[in-house]
Structure 1
Amino acid sequence: MAPIIRRPRKPLSRLRVTAVVSAAAVLALAGCSKPVEKQADIRPVRAVVLAADNIDVVAEFPGEVRARVESRLGFRIAGKIVGRKVDAGTEVKRGQLLMQLDPQDLKLAQAQASAGLKAAESNRDLAKAELKRYQDLREKNFVSQAILDSKETTFKAAQASYDQALAGYRNQSNQAGYASLVSDVDGVVTGVDAEVGQVVGAGTPVLRVAQAGEKEIVIAIPEDKVDVLRKVTDVKVRTWANPTDVIPGILRELSPVADPATRTYAAKVSIPDASAERIKLGMTGYVTFSAKSQNAMLKLPLAALFNDKGATSVWVVENGGVKLVPVQVAGSSGNEILVAGGVTPGQTVVTAGVNQLKPGQKVKILASEPSARMDNRVAADTTKASAVAASAGDAK
Structure 2
Amino acid sequence: MRRFIFIVTGLALASVLAGCGRSEQKTEDIRPVRAIQLAASQQQVTAEYSGNVQARVESQLGFRVGGKIQTRKVDVGSLVKPGQVLMQLDPQDLRLAQAQAEASFKSAKSNFELAEFELKRYQELRKTNAISQSAMDAKNTAFESAKASFEQAQAVFKTQSNQAAYASLTSDVEGVVTAINAEVGQVVAAGSPVVQVAKAGELEVVVGIPENNVDVVKRATKIEIRLWANPKEIINGKIRELSPVADAATRTFIAKVSIIDPTPKQTALVKLGMTAAVQFLVNTPGAFVKVPLTALYQEKGVTSVWVVEKGAVKLVPVQIGGVSGNDVLLTSGVVAGQTVVTAGVHVLNPGQRVSILPPEPKPAPAEPYLTSQNLLAPQSANPTVVQSQGAVK
One fold, TM greater than 0.5? yes
Corresponding residue to 1:141 among 120, 124, 129: 129
Corresponding residue to 2:69 among 81, 90, 112: 81
Decide which structure has the larger Cα Rg and report it: 1
Secondary structure at the counterpart of residue 196 of structure 1: coil
Residues of 1 paired with 2:249 and 2:12: CA distance?
Answer: 77
Residues of 1 paired with 2:187 and 2:354: CA distance?
Answer: 77
Residue 116 of structure 2 aligns with an amino acid whose one-letter code is K
Secondary structure at the counterpart of residue 159 of structure 1: helix
- So what's the TM-score if we normalise by structure 2? 0.80
Matched, 1:284 2:272: no
Q: Deviations over 1:214-269 (max 9, x none)?
A: 11112222333322331333222222222222222212222222334444322222
* Contact 2:219/2:282 (8 A) holds in 1: no
Corresponding residue to 1:375 among 365, 382, 392: 365
Q: How many residues align?
A: 362
1:232-311 to structure 2, matched below 5 A, reads 232-274=220-262, 276-311=267-302
Corresponding residue to 2:193 among 205, 220, 235: 205
Q: CA deviation at 1:162?
A: 0.9
Q: CA deviation at 1:361?
A: 6.2
* Unaligned segments of structure 1, at least 5 residues: 1-13, 378-396
Corresponding residue to 1:161 among 149, 166, 175: 149
In structure 2, the CA distance between the partners of 1:205 and 1:333, relative to structure 1 (3 Å rule), is same
In structure 2, the CA distance between the partners of 1:207 and 1:158, relative to structure 1 (3 Å rule), is same
Matching residue of 1:220:
208
Residues of 2 paired with 1:269 and 1:37: CA distance?
Answer: 71
Matching residue of 1:67:
55
* Contact 2:318/2:332 (8 A) holds in 1: yes
In structure 2, the CA distance between the partners of 1:320 and 1:241, relative to structure 1 (3 Å rule), is farther
- So what's the TM-score if we normalise by structure 1? 0.79
Greater shift in the superposed pair: 300-309 or 337-346: 300-309
* Contact 1:74/1:203 (8 A) holds in 2: yes
Residues of 2 paired with 1:24 and 1:185: CA distance?
Answer: 111
Matching residue of 2:376:
none
Residue 375 of structure 1 aligns with an amino acid whose one-letter code is P
Secondary structure at the counterpart of residue 142 of structure 1: coil
Residues of 1 paired with 2:163 and 2:326: CA distance?
Answer: 61
Residue 44 of structure 2 aligns with an amino acid whose one-letter code is D
Q: CA RMSD in A?
A: 3.3
* Contact 1:301/1:373 (8 A) holds in 2: no
In structure 2, the CA distance between the partners of 1:345 and 1:36, relative to structure 1 (3 Å rule), is same
Matched, 1:330 2:311: no
Residue 212 of structure 2 aligns with an amino acid whose one-letter code is D
Corresponding residue to 1:150 among 135, 138, 150: 138
Residues of 1 paired with 2:60 and 2:344: CA distance?
Answer: 56
Q: CA deviation at 1:159?
A: 1.3
1:85-104 to structure 2, matched below 5 A, reads 85-104=73-92
Greater shift in the superposed pair: 284-293 or 70-79: 284-293
Matching residue of 2:19:
33
Matched, 1:180 2:168: yes
* Contact 2:326/2:366 (8 A) holds in 1: no
In structure 2, the CA distance between the partners of 1:265 and 1:139, relative to structure 1 (3 Å rule), is same
Greater shift in the superposed pair: 71-80 or 302-311: 302-311
In structure 2, the CA distance between the partners of 1:254 and 1:358, relative to structure 1 (3 Å rule), is farther
* Contact 2:80/2:176 (8 A) holds in 1: yes
* Contact 2:325/2:366 (8 A) holds in 1: no
Residue 282 of structure 1 aligns with an amino acid whose one-letter code is G
Q: CA deviation at 1:174?
A: 0.9
In structure 2, the CA distance between the partners of 1:322 and 1:193, relative to structure 1 (3 Å rule), is farther
In structure 2, the CA distance between the partners of 1:317 and 1:86, relative to structure 1 (3 Å rule), is farther
In structure 2, the CA distance between the partners of 1:148 and 1:23, relative to structure 1 (3 Å rule), is farther
Q: CA deviation at 1:374?
A: 7.6
Q: Deviations over 1:186-231 (max 9, x none)?
A: 1112222222222222211222211111111122223333223313
Matching residue of 1:58:
46
Q: CA deviation at 1:155?
A: 1.5
Residues of 2 paired with 1:102 and 1:356: CA distance?
Answer: 83
Matching residue of 1:344:
335
Residues of 1 paired with 2:255 and 2:156: CA distance?
Answer: 47
Q: Deviations over 1:128-157 (max 9, x none)?
A: 222233233333332222112211211211
Matching residue of 1:7:
none
Residues of 2 paired with 1:93 and 1:116: CA distance?
Answer: 37
Secondary structure at the counterpart of residue 56 of structure 1: strand
Matching residue of 1:195:
183
* Unaligned segments of structure 2, at least 5 residues: 368-393
Residues of 1 paired with 2:360 and 2:338: CA distance?
Answer: 12
In structure 2, the CA distance between the partners of 1:30 and 1:83, relative to structure 1 (3 Å rule), is farther
Residue 50 of structure 2 aligns with an amino acid whose one-letter code is P
Matching residue of 1:229:
217
Residue 312 of structure 1 aligns with an amino acid whose one-letter code is T
